[in-house]
């Protein structure tokens, strides 16, 4: 079976798992303890990218010897971007008494920490966990939380370099960011600003709070010449993903994104951590915790795999010729 087919099959079983009720103890092998793992996701349950991430997590657990219905039970909650619901879901999961909880992106870790400081938490898409006080340090997290980050701040400078490489005429760049994004937003902006000074690029911050406000700000920016966009890592950029892609196309603005699903949705180009790999690696930490390790002793790890995606149809619509130097580095090309 091909890798994508395998992940799709796992995703389907993952989506169905919360709806299935079975006598787990009866299914377990004699003397084998059934462990309970919670999964808290910000995405809608039917989002393909979220199901692919969960499938990678389940695959990692399976490779470590865990099997749902035999020695493992998975309880998942999907908040669909609603933070109030996310907090309720976190409380529900903790009340079930899990041995460990996997946290997705967009406030999931914070919601779990607000609910419990004792239940082990493994995040798969952390963004500046030290700056946001989720852990004490990367090497020694302390407390009940550890995991894997999806952002090395140096990546933010590479987004601007990539934008200039694919659209050399760009001299003005709007940086779409969550104005209330805390340390992560400040850190990404600082790195982009440092790169902009050496590349001769003028920056314009645009906050991602309300759809109408975003539309007006992007339209005003687009009235000037030689403009481009960078969309940085934030929960708000996920919430307004479709709107951002639409506005970039409407105003003919080349844009760089942090995740490939912006590109599969019609965006121009992305460069960022391979998030599927993050969830597979997170399964390894969950396995270690189930076998007795403590989150405080497991160092937070940065991404080890990155991926670039390009949408050639979008490039053509923008009148851009993608340089061969960019194409040869791409992991995914959409035509």
Question: How far is it, in rounded angstroms, from Cα 31 to Cα 25?
Answer: 10
Q: How many whole angstroms separate alpha carbon 24 and alpha carbon 85?
A: 28
Which 3 state secondary structure label does DSSP give 185?
helix
Residues 166, 44: one domain?
no
Could you tell me if 280 and 315 lie in one domain?
no
**Strand-pair category, 145-149 with 121-126:** parallel
**Residue 255 belongs to what domain range?**
154-272+307-334
* 50 lies in the same domain as 178: no
* Same domain assignment for residues 163 and 75: no
Q: How far apart are CA 28 and CA 37, in angstroms?
A: 16
Quote the DSSP letter at residue 281. H
277 CB-near residues (< 8 Å, 6+ apart): 56, 303, 304, 305
pLDDT tens, residue by residue, 234-277: 888 988 999 999 999 999 999 999 999 999 999 999 999 999 99
Q: Report pTM.
A: 0.85
- At 321 the pLDDT is 95
Residues 172 and 210 both lie in one domain: yes
Residues 146 and 288 in one domain: yes
pLDDT band (50, 70, 90) for residue 30: low
pLDDT (0 to 100) of residue 211: 95
Q: Are residues 124 and 241 in the same domain?
A: no
Which range (75-84, 179-188, 305-314) has the least confidence? 179-188
Enumerate residues 6+ apart whose C-beta is below 8 A from 113: 121, 134, 144, 145
CA distance 302 to 123: 12
Q: Based on the domain organization, do 13 and 144 belong to the same domain?
A: yes
| Residues 32-64 pLDDT 10s | 799 999 999 988 888 888 899 999 999 999 999
The pLDDT score that the predictor gives to residue 181 is: 60
| Statement: residue 154 has pLDDT above 70 | yes
Same structural domain for residues 56 and 190?
no
Query: Are 297 and 250 contained in the same domain?
Result: no
In angstroms, the CA 123 to CA 282 distance is 7
State residue 31's pLDDT score. 58
Q: Do 99 and 117 fall into the same domain? A: yes
Same domain flag for 131 and 280: yes
In this prediction, residues 99-104 reach a mean pLDDT of: 97
Tell me how many domains the chain contains. Answer: 2
Strand pairing report for 172-177 and 227-231: parallel
CATH number at residue 14: 3.40.50.2300
pLDDT at position 26: 41
14-40: average pLDDT: 59
């Amino acid at each position: 079976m091909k890798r994508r087919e395998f992940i799709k099959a796992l995703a389907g079983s993952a989506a169905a798992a919360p709806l299935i009720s079975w006598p787990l103890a009866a299914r377990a092998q004699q003397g084998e303890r059934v462990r309970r793992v919670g999964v808290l996701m910000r995405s809608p349950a039917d989002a393909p990218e979220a199901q692919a991430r969960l499938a990678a997590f389940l695959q990692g657990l399976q490779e470590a010897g865990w099997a749902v219905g035999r020695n493992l039970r998975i309880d998942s909650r999907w908040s669909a971007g609603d933070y109030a619901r996310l907090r309720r879901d976190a409380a529900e999961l903790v009340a079930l008494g899990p041995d460990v909880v996997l946290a997705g992106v967009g406030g999931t870790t914070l919601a779990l920490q607000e609910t419990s400081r004792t239940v082990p938490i493994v995040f798969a898409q952390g963004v500046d966990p030290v700056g946001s006080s989720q852990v004490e340090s990367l090497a020694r997290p302390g407390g009940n939380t550890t995991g894997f980050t999806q952002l090395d701040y140096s990546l933010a400078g590479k987004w601007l370099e990539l934008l200039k490489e694919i659209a050399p005429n760009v001299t003005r760049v709007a940086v779409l960011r969550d104005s209330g994004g805390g340390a992560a937003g400040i850190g990404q902006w600082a790195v982009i600003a440092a790169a902009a000074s050496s590349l001769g690029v003028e920056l314009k911050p645009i906050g991602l709070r309300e759809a109408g406000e975003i539309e007006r700000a992007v339209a005003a920016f687009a009235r000037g010449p030689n403009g481009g966009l960078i969309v940085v890592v934030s929960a708000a950029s996920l919430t307004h993903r479709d709107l951002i892609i639409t506005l970039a196309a409407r105003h003919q603005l080349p844009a760089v994104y942090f995740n490939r699903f912006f590109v599969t949705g019609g965006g121009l180009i992305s460069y960022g951590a391979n998030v599927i790999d993050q969830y597979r690696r997170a399964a390894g930490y969950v396995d270690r915790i189930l076998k007795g390790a403590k989150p405080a002793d497991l160092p937070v790890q940065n991404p080890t795999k990155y991926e670039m995606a390009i949408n050639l149809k979008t490039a053509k619509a923008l009148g851009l010729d993608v340089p061969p130097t960019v194409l040869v580095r791409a992991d995914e090309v959409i035509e």
